[in-house]
């Protein structure tokens, strides 16, 4: 509500009232009512005095919105984002789709960029804001940290538009924000669009929803690891091979990558084409010009997700991310319930291929089916730690799988979980024989990457299961007439049996 303007005092003090009068003042003469916001004028009389009421006008118009401060679009982007355009690759389609989602009409257009840690959500938001700063959001672009969004919004508006306003006098945070929404500066009608970017949101209900204005002028962009429901969402995926190579070239150097192109492709593949991993390895290579890409790959394969190149103590200038791979995944890990963490570690035992969910259920028969589905969908899938890879199939990103395996090593129950995995897989592989037809071969093919993983387990710990996995692989290839491949697995099975039972055992 807008308070009425104060009455202006006149020189002859026409509105002063003689305090000596008595009576009710019921006798009114000369009434005159006018339209609009004018009130009565006339003379009120009684036995002792008379009061003259002059014409009074009241203006109930809302205060004009303040003008802009300074030139250009108000924003607090600062130096966020990479400055080398060659390092922002493979995202043209995502940028176009994001703009489409944000331009849709509605109460306040809201779009989220969701994805696993290190996939480039923040960088996409930065680049989008910079590209559309002048043309589409002249009303302003405000970058907000998810956990401090409300305070940062008020601080930006106060310092940029309302430096003379005492915000403490306005009341609590919602009242201060409401003041900002109603008076956000505008030069045109309808007012220019404003973009609010909530970065790294972990709880939409508390970090974003209370701070979303109802005005259609505002567009809301959220970056999050969660698959938020009920708002427009863009799921950001890893890079394609050619874009991953282009990113590595831009950082490590064109000539260096061209000289060892196969090694570069192998590195990108081992990193699962994750932008954060490729950037970190690229900067590590730039820092060590004498290091070959072949040696870099060997180090990654040996040190796994704990490699120094993926978890630097000091981050390169120009890199948007300020977390290593372990730290990036750790944020999501800490949000998981203990049961979901156990499910994640059990899933890491499978091979680097789509995982049949029925096979996972065989591995953890003590858990209720609905509980497993809840831990899977409401936690791992929601946080982009597990992906749907087809009907009844789920997949882990290679680096996420390595992260889960690192956590598995810390568990006392790890051997029991490995044994349960081995028993379930051996049981599921019973239909495999060297007399299978093509339809049967196609049906069991989904098990093959996981049987190979089991065959690589420590045979001294699980000799029966590892030898059985080798025989199943022998039969699978023999059924297709691939005898050289079959022989390889048969020889491995024989070696495990001889080590366990002796060469002369019947």
Q: How far is CA 287 from the centre of its chain?
A: 30
Q: Which residue has the tokens 């701070």?
A: 211
Alpha-carbon gap, residue 98 to 221, rounded angstroms: 9
What Rg value do the Cα atoms of the chain yield, rounded?
Answer: 34
Pairing of strands 141-145, 28-32: unpaired
DSSP state for residue 170 in the 8-state scheme: G
Alpha-carbon gap, residue 343 to 376, rounded angstroms: 8
> What are the backbone angles phi and psi of residue 453, rounded to the nearest 5°?
-65, -45
> What are the backbone angles phi and psi of residue 473, rounded to the nearest 5°?
-70, -40
Q: How far is CA 161 from the centre of its chain?
A: 30
H/E/C letters for each residue in 404-435?
A: HHHHHCCCCCHHHHHHHHHHHHHHHCCCCCCC
- The pLDDT of residue 412 is 95
- The pLDDT of residue 106 is 60
First to last CA, the chain: 95
Q: Of the candidates 302, 235, 310, which has an alpha carbon nearest to the alpha carbon of residue 272?
A: 310
Alpha-carbon gap, residue 53 to 353, rounded angstroms: 89
Alpha-carbon gap, residue 418 to 306, rounded angstroms: 22
Alpha-carbon gap, residue 462 to 370, rounded angstroms: 30
Rounded to the nearest 10 degrees, how much is the dihedral formed by the CA atoms of 441, 442, 444, 449?
Answer: 110
The H or E element containing residue 222 is: strand 218-224
DSSP string, 308-354: GGGS-SSPPTT-S--S-HHHHHHHHHTTS-HHHHHHHHHHTTS-SS-
> What are the backbone angles phi and psi of residue 198, rounded to the nearest 5°?
-100, 110
DSSP state for residue 145 in the 8-state scheme: E
Q: Is 235 helix (H, G, I), strand (E, B) or coil?
A: strand
pLDDT per residue of the chain (506 residues) written in tens, 0 to 9: 344 444 444 444 433 333 333 333 333 333 433 443 433 444 444 444 444 544 444 444 444 444 444 457 899 999 898 888 899 999 999 999 999 999 885 667 888 999 999 999 999 999 999 999 988 999 999 999 877 899 999 999 999 999 999 999 999 999 999 999 999 998 887 888 999 999 999 889 999 999 988 888 899 999 999 988 888 899 999 999 999 999 999 999 999 999 999 999 999 999 999 999 999 999 999 999 999 999 999 999 999 999 999 999 888 877 778 889 999 999 999 999 999 999 999 999 999 999 999 999 999 999 999 999 999 999 999 999 999 999 999 999 999 999 999 999 999 999 999 999 999 999 999 999 999 999 999 999 999 999 999 999 999 999 999 999 999 999 999 999 999 999 999 999 999 999 999 989 98
The H or E element containing residue 113 is: strand 109-114
Q: Is 383 exposed, middle or buried (0-12, 13-18, 19+ CB in 10 A)?
A: buried
Alpha-carbon gap, residue 450 to 31, rounded angstroms: 96
Alpha-carbon gap, residue 14 to 109, rounded angstroms: 54
- The pLDDT of residue 68 is 45
| Per-residue tokens: 350 | 């499978």
Contact 332, 383 (CB under 8 A): yes
- The pLDDT of residue 473 is 98
- The pLDDT of residue 32 is 38
């Amino acid at each position: 509500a807008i308070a009425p303007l104060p009455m202006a005092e006149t020189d002859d003090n026409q509105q002063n009232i003689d305090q000596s009068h008595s009576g009710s003042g019921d006798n009114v003469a000369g009434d005159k009512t006018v339209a609009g916001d004018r009130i009565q004028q006339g003379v009120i009389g009684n036995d002792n005095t008379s009061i003259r009421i002059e014409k009074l006008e009241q203006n109930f118009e809302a205060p004009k919105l303040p003008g802009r401060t300074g030139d250009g679009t108000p924003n607090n982007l600062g130096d966020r984002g990479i400055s080398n355009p060659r390092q922002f690759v493979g995202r043209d389609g995502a940028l176009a789709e994001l703009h489409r989602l944000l331009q849709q009409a509605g109460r306040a257009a809201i779009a989220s960029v969701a994805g696993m840690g290190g996939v480039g959500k923040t960088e996409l938001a930065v680049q989008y804001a910079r590209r559309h700063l002048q043309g589409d959001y002249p009303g302003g672009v405000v970058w907000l940290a998810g956990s401090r969004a409300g305070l940062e919004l008020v601080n930006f508006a106060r310092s940029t538009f309302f430096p003379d306003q005492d915000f403490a006098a306005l009341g609590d945070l919602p009242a201060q924000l409401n003041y900002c929404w109603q008076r956000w500066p505008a030069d045109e009608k309808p007012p220019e669009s404003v973009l609010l970017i909530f970065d790294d949101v972990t709880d939409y209900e508390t970090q974003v929803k209370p701070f979303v204005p109802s005005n259609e002028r505002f567009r809301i962009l959220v970056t999050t690891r969660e698959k938020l429901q009920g708002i427009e969402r863009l799921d950001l995926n890893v890079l394609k091979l050619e874009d991953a190579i282009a990113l590595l070239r831009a950082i490590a150097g064109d000539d260096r990558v061209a000289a060892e192109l196969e090694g570069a492709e192998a590195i990108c593949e081992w990193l699962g084409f994750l932008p954060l991993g490729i950037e970190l390895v690229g900067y590590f290579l730039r820092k060590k010009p004498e290091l070959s890409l072949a040696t870099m790959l060997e180090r990654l394969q040996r040190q796994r997700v704990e490699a120094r190149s993926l978890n630097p103590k000091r981050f390169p200038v120009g890199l948007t991310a300020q977390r290593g791979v372990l730290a990036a995944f750790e944020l999501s890990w800490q949000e998981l319930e203990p049961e979901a963490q156990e499910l994640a570690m059990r899933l890491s035992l499978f091979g680097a291929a789509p995982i049949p969910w029925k096979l996972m259920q065989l591995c953890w028969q003590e858990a209720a089916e609905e509980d497993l589905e809840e831990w899977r969908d409401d936690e791992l899938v929601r946080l982009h730690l597990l992906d749907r890879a087809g009907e009844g199939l789920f997949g882990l990103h290679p680096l996420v799988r390595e992260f889960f395996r690192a956590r598995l090593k810390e568990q006392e129950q790890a051997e029991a979980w490995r044994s349960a995995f081995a028993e379930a897989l051996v049981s599921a592989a019973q239909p495999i024989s060297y007399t299978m037809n093509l339809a049967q071969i196609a049906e069991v093919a989904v098990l093959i990457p996981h049987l190979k993983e089991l065959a690589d387990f420590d045979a001294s710990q699980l000799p029966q299961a590892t030898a059985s996995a080798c025989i199943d692989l022998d039969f699978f290839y023999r059924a297709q007439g691939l005898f050289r491949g079959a022989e390889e697995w048969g020889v491995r099975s024989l070696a495990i049996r001889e080590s366990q039972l002796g060469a002369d055992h019947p």
